[in-house]
Structure 1
């Protein structure tokens, strides 16, 4: 998933996803290239379950 897709799914701004990523507090990210982050849906779901607990 792209940052924009994650943001839409979680109903937050794309900049929030970026801020989480940069602070290390967001879901696990895979870098396809130095400027192309991608998220696995399962990683986002796992992260969401952890922060909701």
Structure 2
């Protein structure tokens, strides 16, 4: 299982890190896994699945 940082995901999605953070706060965007209170990570498969659903 590969985990990506917020910076990696924001580059992949071509959105700013602040947009990705805002999506997390409102429950939008790809599923996030918190490794600690300040350490969000994203599974590559979750980001890909979210993109598929968003494109449909």
Q: TM over 0.5, yes or no? A: yes
Stretches of structure 2 that go unaligned for 5 or more consecutive residues are none
Aligned residues: 53
Provide runs of 4+ in structure 1 moved above 3 Å. Answer: none
Gaps of 5+ in 1: none
Larger relative contact order (Cα-Cα within 8 Å, sequence gap ≥ 6): 2
With the length of structure 2 as denominator, give the TM-score of the two structures. 0.90
TM-score (norm: length of structure 1): 0.94
Is 2:11 the counterpart of 1:8?
yes
Q: Which residue of 1 aligns with 2:45?
A: 42
Distance 1:21 1:52 in 2: 19
